[in-house]
Chains A and B, each alone.
Chain A
């Protein structure tokens, strides 16, 4: 059973960098698949932030690309998100998920429980 668990600060100051880590158990990241981050502002819908392949190739939402960095640590079986220059608009529940991507479809089959990050001074 694949399980994902997000961790990181729940409060970040404006203009600083949001940093989260997703620990994966029950599956080795090195074995394949993409691994992604999705966020959901309070009371709003889902937004894909970006995804990383086990080899390290990354793909980002163009609207966030200038501020996002996703990295992978296969030795620890985890991947991470950094979002710079945050504002109140970045306040959201952040989810990590396994991302299945092929020529016909894209979907997220396993999700973490999510972690609320609030941007406030």
Chain B
């Protein structure tokens, strides 16, 4: 399957923890990567591989995976974390080198 499913929207109180999930069959075989996208801007990679952060990404962002579900956790959410988040992985059928999730809008209250 080439589908990665995310909840459309989640909200989190300032300073609290939020988990964003991504479901898909390919996640049983491949790691997910995660991107943050703010309005009018290009996506920014925040997590890749097992749980790696590119240089400059705060350590409040972390990734995990279990079965067919990958998760992005923001521990101590800040106002600047309000954005759309997309997961990304390979397709287990081999037809797609890259598939993106449906996206989750995170609102920081």
A binds B: yes
**Which stretch of B9-17, B72-80, B98-106 is in the interface?**
B98-106
Q: How far, in Å, is B108 (CB) from chain A's closest CB? A: 21
A105 touches B103 (CB 8 A): no
A8 to B98, CA, bound (A): 24
A106 to B100, CA, bound (A): 11
Contacts of A105 in B (CB 8 A): 30-33, 48-49, 89-90
Confirm or deny: B86 has a beta carbon within 8 angstroms of a beta carbon on chain A: yes
B44 touches A111 (CB 8 A): yes
Contacts of A112 in B (CB 8 A): 42
* Choice from A36, A46, A51, A106 contacting B86 with Cβ under 8 Å: A46
User: Chain B: residues with CB nearer than 8 A to chain A?
Assistant: 30-33, 35, 42-45, 48-49, 54, 86, 88-90, 95-103
